[in-house]
């Protein structure tokens, strides 16, 4: 099922419905409930079948002005909403997700599935380092990756051009092999 993108403007129906919802929830700020919600609905129902758009827009405008005039100076805001009493209260206790990297392996072993998935996600995002070239060596650290020689894009018919590091690696490997054979 295809969902259409929201239009750049609101229809009159949307405006009226949004306004109705706002007005209804604002009744709670005045400590009024069921009966006054029914009265509010009756006011909206009175002009429900208005066909003249000019008049309908005029009615909406007057209603919005009336709402503005009668609004409560301290409207009720939910405690976790912006402007509420406990909004952002626990921000100071939130820690970045990277703190999980500092866990000891014995702690990580308690949640193997979670950490395995986490490592997989990190690899996909490219956050992990490539493995070391030789055993016992350090993996290539960040400056090796940053200052690595740029690989030129080549056509399929052309022979791939070796980078300096690659040449160096091949040379060292060949020399080690020759030495082994000679021994």
Partner 1 sequence: MHSSLILMTLIPLLAPITITLINPHKNSLYPHYVKLAIIYALTISILSTTIFIFTGQESMISNWHWMTIQTIKLSMSFKLDFFSMMFTPVALFVTWSIVEFSMWYMSSDPNINQFLKYLLIFLITMLILITANNLFQLFIGWEGMGIMSFLLISWWHGRTDANTAALQAILYNRIGDIGFILAMAWFFLYSNSWDFQQMFILDSTSNSFPLMSLLLAATGKSAQFGLHPWLPSAMEGPTPVSALLHSSTMVVAGVFLIIRFHPLIENNLLTQTLILSLGAITTLFTAICAITQNDLKKIVAFSTSSQLGLMMVTIGINQPHLAFLHICTHAFFKAMLFLSAGSIIHSLNNEQDIRKMGGLFKTLPFTASSLVIGSLALMGTPFLTGFYSKDLIIETANTSYTNAWALTTTLVATSLTAMYSIRIISHTMTGHPRFSTLISINENNPQLMNPINRLALGSIFAGFLISSCIPPTSQPQVTMPHYLKLMALSVTILGLFLAMELSLMTNNMKLSTPVKTFYFSNMLGFYSITTHRINPHSSLATSQNFTSTLLDLFWFEKTMPKLTMQTQISISTTASTQKGLIKLYFLSFFIPPTLALILTI
Verify binding: residue 44, partner 1, rule CB under 8 A: no
Nearer to partner 1, 93 or 142 (CB): 93
In the complex, the smallest distance separating the C-beta of residue 16 from partner 1, rounded to whole angstroms, is 21
Verify binding: residue 93, partner 1, rule CB under 8 A: yes
* Count of residues touching partner 1 (by CB under 8 A): 24
| Residue 35 parent element (H or E) | helix 34-46
Among 52, 91, 156, 183, binds partner 1 (CB under 8 A): 91
Among 10, 39, 109, 138, binds partner 1 (CB under 8 A): 39
- Is residue 59 within 8 Å of residue 51, measured between CB atoms? no
Q: Helix 12-26 vs helix 34-46: angle between axes, to the nearest 10 degrees? A: 160
Verify binding: residue 92, partner 1, rule CB under 8 A: yes
Nearer to partner 1, 84 or 139 (CB): 84
Coil vs helix vs strand at 69: helix
In the complex, the smallest distance separating the C-beta of residue 69 from partner 1, rounded to whole angstroms, is 7
Q: How far apart are CA 108 and CA 114, in angstroms?
A: 9
Nearer to partner 1, 92 or 110 (CB): 92
Sign of the torsion formed by the C-alpha atoms of 70, 73, 79 and 81: positive
Q: Which stretch binds partner 1 (CB under 8 A): 81-89, 112-120, 148-156, 170-178?
A: 81-89
- Cβ neighbours around 99 below 10 Å, total: 8
| Interface of this chain with partner 1, residues 152 to 171, rule: CB under 8 A | none
Q: How far apart are CA 117 and CA 109, in angstroms?
A: 13
């Amino acid at each position: 099922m295809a969902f259409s993108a929201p239009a750049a403007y609101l229809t009159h129906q949307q405006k009226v419905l949004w306004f109705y919802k706002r007005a209804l929830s604002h009744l709670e700020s005045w400590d009024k409930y069921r009966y006054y919600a029914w009265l509010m609905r009756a006011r909206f129902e009175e002009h429900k079948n208005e066909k003249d758009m000019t008049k309908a827009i005029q009615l909406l405008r007057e209603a919005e002005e009336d709402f503005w005039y009668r609004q409560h100076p301290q409207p009720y805001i939910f405690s976790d909403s912006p402007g509420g009493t406990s909004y952002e209260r626990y921000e100071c206790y939130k820690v970045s997700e990277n703190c999980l990297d500092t866990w000891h392996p014995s702690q990580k072993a308690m949640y193997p599935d979670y950490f395995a998935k986490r490592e997989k996600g990190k690899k996909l995002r490219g956050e992990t380092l490539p493995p070391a070239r030789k055993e016992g060596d350090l993996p290539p650290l960040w400056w090796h990756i940053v200052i690595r020689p740029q690989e030129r894009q080549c056509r399929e018919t052309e022979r791939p051009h070796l980078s300096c590091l690659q040449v160096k690696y091949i040379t060292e490997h060949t020399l080690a092999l020759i030495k082994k054979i000679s021994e």
